[in-house]
Structures are given as structure tokens and as C-alpha cells.
């Protein structure tokens, strides 16, 4: 076994399949025992619900632990899946959140070899200095600080060896394992679309030349706001599996606190984030889709640094318009128009429920629009996520009326993820005016 692959819990497609198959067999056994227990008929409905939730929590932990050990592409899929509660039961998606945590790093010797393969020289010949301790480590690569021979402070993102070779087999085997385990909640056609989108996203993230191009596009787009910082790419030190960018330091979200950051400055950062993501969606028609807290940093002057441009979703113009229509319809309380826009977007399954009346939509829009009223909304104290869960439990009979859409799931991942960004920042301000201005973005006068 080469040292390149020692970091993975299973190193070949066959071994990785066996590990996933073992996981699915164990999960399937747990579900079978649960079904038998339910057939006995001694449990109340409340007890059945509690048993189901407990089972899904255990299954989620098992999936998260297995994918965390395997790392690579399959772990990345688990990270993405943690955002998609419409594909997995909520308890399983919640357990997968642990995969968002920073991963144990690779030995620096392996990183040096990868840089040599990609750039043709030893790191010591390319950089005046490079830190052997990683600045950050994730599922498919890690980042090291360095200084170029010209004296520029940079970060060097290095992809783990062998990750790209396992993508197709990992996706195929993970899908098979999850299907056998019985934890996927969408039909085959929709699952094909969802995994197709995940496959596209993964291949994009594994191509650092493409990521470098994404950086240039977003840097040009945000150039008019000097307080949105996109680190520049150093092309001479970049290849398909090595990406070198300027070192742009900032405070992690957990450090954005008083006295360094006043509430006024935090609110400014909240508006800057909201406006940036809104403009990306409605004007650029492409959005940064990885809301992980490590991909955003902040400065006391109100600046925001956006890192990691591997996961970028280009949005079809008609889908952008559907987002605009759904938001405008919600603001106007026009639930017929909202229903129509959701059908156009592909998230309303009219086969299972041809029509849904206003009584269903009104409570949902009431919950969400509280954050976008003309009065300040306290994201720090928000319980919107709990209200959404409670409302979902009351609307279980409508479950089959909605489905994930490959066109929107990554965009929703970004939007939903930044609710938690706003909450952790402690933003407390009014967003109605910003929302209305965003909805006008990209519309011809």
C-alpha cells in the first residue's frame, strides 16, 4: 500500500465498497428489527414516533462515523447531505453535521510529494518557506501557509492523492448502500437528478483550475465593494490539484464579538453577507454554495473575506426567476402564485398532490417572513428553525407533495446555511428594504 493512500479508511474501490456494504447491512438489520417491534402492536403512536426518531438518530451516527473514517469523496458527499433534510430524514441529516468539522491532516511528506507531482519542483524550490503544519484540513485536501520567492504571503491548497480516482465508485457504492439501508426518501428519477448534481459539484471541487477561474469571476463581480475580499490566485503556483492564493486573514465567526465588534458593525456584516449572496443569485446567476463557517472571515472595519470557490452553482435564468416569483408571492400573500412558482421550480410534486390551498402556505410564509419585516429581527435569539420543525411535523400528510430539485438544492444549501451564519453572528436588524432591493437586482428597468 502506498503512503499516498494511507489516510483513507479503505484504500481501493473494492475495499471502500465492502465498508459501505457492511454499513448498509447493519442499518438494514436495525430497520428490520424496528419493523418487527412495530408489528407486535403493543406500542402507542407516540411511542412509535419516538422509536422511529431514536432509530434514525442511531443510523445517522453510524453513517457519519463510517463516512468520517473513509474520508475522500464519500465523506464530502456526507457533508453535502447534511444540508439536505428533504433527501434524508431530519435525524440522519442532523447526525451528518459532524462531518463538517475539520478533519485530521495528512502527513506533510505526502503533501510535498503531491506538490512535486503537480508543480514539477520540490516545495522548497518553489516557495521561500512553507509551513509543514496545515492551516486547515478537510475531506479532500488541506491548506498550508507559505511565502513565495517574491515575498508574497500565500495559502497553498493541496488535494489529497487518489481522491479523484474514487469519486465515481464512492458515489455509486454510497447510493447503493443508502438504498439498501432504506433511508432515502425520493424516487429513482429524482435520486438520479440529486446524485447527478452532487457528482457535478464534486468534480468541480476536485478541479482547482476551475476553482481558480471561479475566484476570478467572483472577484470581478464583487470588485465594486472594497469590503468584500476575494483572495487573488497565483497562477504560477496553481494546477489541477494545487491552488495558491493570497493570504487574506480575518476573524473566524466565533471571534466576532464585543468589544472589537459593536452591534452596529455586526449588523453591517449581516447586510454585507445578505446583499452579496442575493446579488450572486439574482444578478450573477451563480452562487457560492458552501456556507461552512470556515469559508467566511470578518474584520472589525466591516470587511468580509470569502474563501473556497470549489462549490459554485450556476443557476438557470428561469430558476432565478422562479426564486424571484416565490419570494414576491410570499410577500404579497398570493399563495396561488406561490404554488405556481414552486411547480415551475420543480419542488412541487403535483402527481402526489395536484393542489394545495392557502391554509398550508400561510403559516410557512409567516414563519420565514418574520426575518424580513420592516422591524429589526434578532437572529441571535431566533427560534425559526424550531418553528419550522414543529410546522413540518404538523404537515406530514403533505410530505409527498414536495421533492428536492437538482436545480435548487445547492442554492437552498447556501441560503439555509447562512441563516445559521446570521444567528451565530448575532445580527439584529431589519432586512425588508434589502430584500426588496435584492429582488429588483438583475431586472431590466
Identify the DSSP state of 153: E
Instruction: Give the residue, 8 or 77, on which the prediction is more confident.
Output: 77
Q: Which of 144, 199, 162 is nearest to 15 (CA)?
A: 162
Strand ranges (E), 273-386 = 286-288, 296-298, 304-306, 312-314, 377-378
307 and 427 in a common domain:
yes
431 and 295 in a common domain:
yes
Comparing 55-59, 86-90, 304-308, 416-420, the range with the smallest average pLDDT is 86-90
Backbone angles phi, psi at 233, to 5 degrees: -90, 140
260 and 196 in a common domain:
no
Provide the pLDDT for residue 27. Answer: 79
Q: Which of 271, 262, 274 is nearest to 301 (CA)?
A: 262
* CB atoms inside a 10 Å sphere around CB 334: 16
Comparing 183-197, 391-405, 426-440, the range with the smallest average pLDDT is 183-197
* Banded model confidence at residue 39, pLDDT cuts 50, 70, 90: low
190 and 332 in a common domain:
no
Instruction: For residues 142 and 212, give the distance between their C-alpha atoms in angstroms, rounded to a whole number.
Output: 16
* Banded model confidence at residue 375, pLDDT cuts 50, 70, 90: very high
Provide the pLDDT for residue 84. Answer: 56
B/e letters for 168-202, b = 16+ CB within 10 Å, e = fewer, are ebbbebbbebbebbebbbbeeebbebbbebbbebb
**What pLDDT, in 10s, does the model give residues 290-344?**
898 889 999 999 999 999 999 999 999 999 999 999 999 999 999 999 999 999 9
Provide the pLDDT for residue 101. Answer: 63
Provide the pLDDT for residue 203. Answer: 86
184 and 54 in a common domain:
yes
Domains contained in the chain, number: 2
Instruction: For residues 290 and 311, give the distance between their C-alpha atoms in angstroms, rounded to a whole number.
Output: 6
Q: Is residue 149 part of a domain?
A: no
Query: Residue 13's domain spans which residues?
Result: 3-104+163-205
Most confidently predicted of 54-63, 199-208, 310-319, 397-406:
310-319
Q: Is the pLDDT of residue 421 over 60?
A: yes
Q: Is residue 139 part of a domain?
A: no
User: Average pLDDT over the chain, rounded to whole?
Assistant: 86
258 and 190 in a common domain:
no
Backbone angles phi, psi at 79, to 5 degrees: -65, -45
279 and 198 in a common domain:
no
Q: Is the pLDDT of residue 191 over 80?
A: no
286 and 186 in a common domain:
no
Provide the pLDDT for residue 74. Answer: 67
* Banded model confidence at residue 4, pLDDT cuts 50, 70, 90: very low
Instruction: For residues 4 and 344, give the distance between their C-alpha atoms in angstroms, rounded to a whole number.
Output: 47
Instruction: For residues 374 and 430, give the distance between their C-alpha atoms in angstroms, rounded to a whole number.
Output: 6
* Banded model confidence at residue 184, pLDDT cuts 50, 70, 90: low
DSSP sequence for 388-414: HHHHHHHTGGGGGGB---TTTHHHHHH
Provide the pLDDT for residue 12. Answer: 65
379 and 267 in a common domain:
yes
Instruction: For residues 81 and 59, give the distance between their C-alpha atoms in angstroms, rounded to a whole number.
Output: 14
* Banded model confidence at residue 243, pLDDT cuts 50, 70, 90: very high
Provide the pLDDT for residue 8. Answer: 44
Instruction: For residues 385 and 383, give the distance between their C-alpha atoms in angstroms, rounded to a whole number.
Output: 5
Residues with catalytic annotation?
Answer: 290
280 and 197 in a common domain:
no
354 and 439 in a common domain:
yes
* Residue appearing with cell numbers 503537480: 118
Q: Provide Rg for the chain, Cα atoms.
A: 23
* Banded model confidence at residue 18, pLDDT cuts 50, 70, 90: confident
Pairing of strands 304-306, 296-298: antiparallel
Q: Is residue 221 part of a domain?
A: no
Domain-terminating residue out of 171, 205, 239: 205
Identify the DSSP state of 186: S
Average pLDDT (366-379) is: 96
* Banded model confidence at residue 3, pLDDT cuts 50, 70, 90: very low
Q: Is the pLDDT of residue 71 over 90?
A: no
CA angle 320, 326, 332 (to 5 degrees): 135
324 and 183 in a common domain:
no
Helices (H), 40-187: 45-70, 72-81, 90-95, 108-119, 123-126, 167-181
Cell representation of residue 438: 435584492
Amino acid at each position: 500500500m502506498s503512503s499516498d493512500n494511507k489516510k483513507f479508511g479503505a484504500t481501493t474501490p473494492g475495499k471502500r465498497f465492502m465498508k459501505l456494504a457492511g454499513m448498509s447491512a447493519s442499518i438494514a438489520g436495525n430497520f428490520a428489527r424496528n419493523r418487527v417491534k412495530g408489528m407486535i402492536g403493543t406500542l402507542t403512536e407516540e411511542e412509535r414516533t419516538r422509536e422511529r426518531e431514536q432509530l434514525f438518530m442511531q443510523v445517522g451516527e453510524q453513517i457519519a462515523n463510517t463516512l468520517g473514517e473513509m474520508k475522500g469523496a464519500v465523506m464530502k458527499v456526507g457533508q453535502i447531505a447534511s444540508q439536505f433534510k428533504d433527501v434524508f430524514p431530519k435525524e440522519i441529516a442532523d447526525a451528518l453535521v459532524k462531518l463538517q468539522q475539520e478533519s485530521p491532516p495528512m502527513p506533510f511528506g505526502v503533501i510535498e510529494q503531491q506538490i512535486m507531482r503537480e508543480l514539477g519542483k520540490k516545495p522548497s524550490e518553489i516557495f521561500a518557506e512553507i509551513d509543514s503544519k496545515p492551516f486547515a484540513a478537510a475531506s479532500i485536501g488541506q491548506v498550508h501557509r507559505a511565502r513565495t520567492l517574491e515575498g508574497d504571503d500565500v495559502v497553498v491548497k493541496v488535494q489529497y492523492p487518489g481522491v479523484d480516482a474514487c469519486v465515481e465508485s464512492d458515489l455509486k457504492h454510497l447510493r447503493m448502500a443508502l438504498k439498501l439501508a432504506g433511508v432515502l426518501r425520493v424516487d429513482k428519477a429524482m435520486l438520479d437528478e440529486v446524485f447527478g448534481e452532487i457528482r457535478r459539484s464534486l468534480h468541480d471541487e476536485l478541479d482547482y483550475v476551475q476553482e481558480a477561474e471561479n475566484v476570478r469571476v467572483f472577484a470581478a463581480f464583487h470588485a465594486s465593494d472594497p469590503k468584500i475580499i476575494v483572495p487573488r490566485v497565483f497562477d504560477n503556483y496553481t494546477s489541477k490539484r494545487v491552488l495558491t492564493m493570497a493570504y487574506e486573514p480575518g476573524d473566524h465567526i466565533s471571534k466576532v464579538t464585543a468589544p472589537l465588534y459593536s452591534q452596529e458593525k455586526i449588523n453591517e456584516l449581516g447586510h454585507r453577507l445578505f446583499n452579496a449572496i442575493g446579488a450572486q443569485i439574482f444578478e450573477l446567476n451563480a452562487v457560492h454554495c458552501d456556507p461552512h463557517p470556515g469559508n467566511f472571515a470578518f474584520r472589525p472595519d466591516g470587511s468580509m473575506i470569502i474563501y473556497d470557490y470549489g462549490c459554485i452553482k450556476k443557476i438557470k435564468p428561469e430558476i432565478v426567476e422562479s426564486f424571484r416569483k416565490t419570494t414576491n408571492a410570499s410577500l404579497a400573500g398570493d399563495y396561488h402564485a406561490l404554488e405556481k412558482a414552486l411547480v415551475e421550480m420543480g419542488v412541487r410534486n403535483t402527481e402526489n398532490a395536484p393542489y394545495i390551498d392557502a391554509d398550508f402556505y400561510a403559516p410557512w410564509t409567516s414563519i420565514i417572513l418574520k426575518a424580513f419585516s420592516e422591524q429589526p429581527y434578532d437572529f441571535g435569539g431566533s427560534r425559526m428553525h424550531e418553528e419550522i420543525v414543529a410546522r413540518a411535523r404538523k404537515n406530514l400528510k403533505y410530505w409527498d407533495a414536495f421533492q428536492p430539485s437538482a436545480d435548487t438544492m445547492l442554492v437552498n444549501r447556501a441560503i439555509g446555511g447562512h441563516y445559521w451564519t446570521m444567528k451565530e453572528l448575532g445580527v439584529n436588524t431589519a432586512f425588508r428594504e434589502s430584500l426588496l432591493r435584492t429582488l429588483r437586482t438583475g431586472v431590466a428597468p
